[in-house]
Structure 1
Amino acid sequence: MGIGSSITKRITPKITQAAPNLTSGFVREALRRAIEGVGPLPSAETTARRKLEKEDGDVDRAIRETIELHAAYAGAEGFATNLGGLVTAAAALPANITGLALIQCRMISVIASLRGYDLDDQRVRNAILACALGEDAVKKMVKSKKLPAPPMALATAPVHDAALDRTIASEVAASLIGKVAGKRLATTIGRRVPVVGGVVGMSADAWSTWQVGRYAGRELLPRTRR
């Protein structure tokens, strides 16, 4: 307990200092870039179209391929940003959060496009962010009335509720910090070996992304665009 308490006291202030701008605005920007494309990555709609062509029009197969590919991306990104151990934990935190946010938002956006959703619709964008929270978190938020409904219902609501925009984005930001910071602390306390820390980070990010993708695939049922 002494070691854990000591490390917690040292790492928590660094985490706060390292990600001062991780706000709802950051999450919305990550989602926008994930949907529109960033760097060498094409837009989510273009990616969805190419996946569908590759899989001969089989949507379910295209979704499975999308999840597996993005889980691999997350694993590689997680490994790269976890190699430094405790010494570089605070410095690596923003990169890991940014990467995980982009990868998971992009994956869910591609899935939504494959299912026939309009990615320019703010209701759909809120549903994408809700999916990024994961099934357990969504159930708790719906039960506590922080969220009016699951992602599918958000995406197909009669009207867009602007009040939800900041709430959902803030929850995603908090979730990302919790996942990454918690993983850093667990790795540091339990392993304390930099390379092993990288493997733990790789596994955690890949598994988290795979779970989120599977949830999005189940939750976002097929729609016909008008």
Structure 2
Amino acid sequence: MSTQEPSSSQEASKTLVQRAPEVAGNVLRQILEFAIDGNMTIPGAKDAAARCLQTRGDHEAAVESVVRQHVGLAGAQGFLTNLGGLLLLPVALPANLAGLAVVQMRMIAAIAHLRGYDLNDRRVRSALTLAMLGEDDVRKLVASGKLPSTPMGVATAPVFDPILEHAVSERVFGDLGMKMAGKHAVVQVAKRIPLVGGGVGAAADGYFTYALGQYARREFVRRRG
């Protein structure tokens, strides 16, 4: 009896490890699809891009507007989900990460759409997910040979690479998990203070979103005629 328990535990652990790429892919796929398509109350990336284009009348001005709007959205949700301090942290932190991922993914997708990329193309969707890592992490992974190319290279590759898609999903999912575990320790400690935590959360989420927006603008160069 006792000799079988470790075996069962090992089998369960092995199953979890084997399913990790599947879990990561499913979670990020749902975030990506929601960010692009939206729903009845929250417009997706294409609609957000179209509204900015209609208001600004120029694609590059619309890109600037998209970034500015999503930085504001990231800051707002960062403030609200971190306002409660330590007592609400177990609930608020996952909500903050999910909300921030949707906001950032929608911003990156809207930028790519305005620059002429097909958001239904699986290569482009892999590139959008990869861009979520940010410039520094992508540069390091490409330099170390763990990734073959940048978001721009993935979006314009000759063929879709499902193996690369799984690798990107795992990496981005792991990055979100590291943030949840306290990767940005100083920020997380400050978030534990009621009211003050909300302000820190808003500033941090707004800053990271702005940085991703600038990275996406550099990566997804204009393809429209």
Paired AA for residue 127 in structure 2: A
Q: Does 1:203 align with 2:210?
A: no
Q: Does 1:79 align with 2:86?
A: no
Aligned position for 1:24 = 25
Q: Is 2:70–2:107's contact at 8 Å kept on the other side of the alignment?
A: yes
Paired AA for residue 49 in structure 1: A
Q: Is 1:52–1:59's contact at 8 Å kept on the other side of the alignment?
A: yes
Q: Is 2:94–2:180's contact at 8 Å kept on the other side of the alignment?
A: no
Aligned position for 2:129 = 129
Q: Does 1:144 align with 2:144?
A: yes
Alpha-carbon deviation of 1:212? 0.2
Aligned position for 1:154 = 154
With over 3 angstroms needed to count, the CA separation of the structure-2 counterparts of 1:26 and 1:217, relative to structure 1, is same
Q: Does 1:220 align with 2:213?
A: no
Runs of 4+ in 1 over 3 A off after TM superposition: 187-192
Q: TM-score scaled by structure 1?
A: 0.84
Paired AA for residue 50 in structure 1: R
Measured in 1, the distance between the counterparts of 2:93 and 2:28 equals 15
Paired AA for residue 102 in structure 1: V
5+ residue gaps, structure 2, are 1-19
Measured in 1, the distance between the counterparts of 2:149 and 2:84 equals 40
With over 3 angstroms needed to count, the CA separation of the structure-2 counterparts of 1:190 and 1:74, relative to structure 1, is closer
| Cα displacement string for residues 176-207 of structure 1 (whole angstroms, at most 9, x for unaligned residues) | 23334437742454575211111111100000
Alpha-carbon deviation of 1:106? 0.4
With over 3 angstroms needed to count, the CA separation of the structure-2 counterparts of 1:39 and 1:82, relative to structure 1, is farther
Max Rg structure: 2
Measured in 1, the distance between the counterparts of 2:53 and 2:32 equals 22
Aligned position for 2:94 = 94
Alpha-carbon deviation of 1:39? 4.2
Q: Is 1:89–1:184's contact at 8 Å kept on the other side of the alignment?
A: no
Aligned position for 1:48 = 49
> Comparing 123-132 with 176-185, which one deviates more in the overlay?
176-185
| Cα displacement string for residues 101-130 of structure 1 (whole angstroms, at most 9, x for unaligned residues) | 100110001000000000000100011111
| Cα displacement string for residues 42-62 of structure 1 (whole angstroms, at most 9, x for unaligned residues) | 232222222212111x21111
Secondary structure in structure 2 of the residue aligned to 1:23: helix
Measured in 2, the distance between the counterparts of 1:63 and 1:54 equals 11
Measured in 2, the distance between the counterparts of 1:184 and 1:194 equals 18
* Matched positions, count: 205
Q: How big is the alpha-carbon RMSD for the aligned residues of Structure 1 and Structure 2?
A: 2.1
Alpha-carbon deviation of 1:24? 2.9
| Cα displacement string for residues 129-154 of structure 1 (whole angstroms, at most 9, x for unaligned residues) | 11111000100111122211001110
Secondary structure in structure 1 of the residue aligned to 2:49: helix
Paired AA for residue 221 in structure 2: L
**% identical aligned pairs:** 44
Measured in 2, the distance between the counterparts of 1:182 and 1:38 equals 31
Paired AA for residue 216 in structure 2: A
Paired AA for residue 71 in structure 2: A
Q: Is 2:36–2:44's contact at 8 Å kept on the other side of the alignment?
A: yes
Q: TM-score scaled by structure 2?
A: 0.84
Secondary structure in structure 1 of the residue aligned to 2:145: coil
